Amino acid sequence: MRPLAALCLLVLLAGCTSATREIEPIPGSITYGGNPSTRLTKSPVGSIVFHRFQDQFAKEWEERYVVQPDGTLKLVDRRRYPIPD
């Protein structure tokens, strides 16, 4: 690969990964108001936890969390069900 093409590809990829944004918890989320006081000590680090709930407007949501090394949960994805067209 040409050096200039490799440099352009590297710059494009770096721009894609640096634009990640953190998802904010909403009422009904496990981490709304901060992480729970109990920690997931028996769950392997990196394991995924799903949580499905209804908000105050009767919309159904599913969230995906990842267990962090300290046992807390990090919200990584939220979807609305049924998925709107």
Query: Quick one: average pLDDT of 11-32?
Result: 75
Sorting pLDDT into bands at 50, 70 and 90, what band is 49?
very high
**Rounded distance, CA 51 to CA 39, Å?**
16
- The per-residue pLDDT for 39 is 86
Determine if the pTM surpasses 0.75.
Answer: no
Q: What is the mean pLDDT of residues 20-37?
A: 88
Residue with tokens 């050096």: 3
pLDDT of residue 52 exceeding 90: yes
**Does the pLDDT value for residue 7 go beyond 80?**
no
Summarize the confidence of residues 33-59 as an average pLDDT.
90
Q: What angle do CA 20, 66, 69 make, to 5 degrees?
A: 105
Is residue 28 pLDDT above 70, yes or no? yes
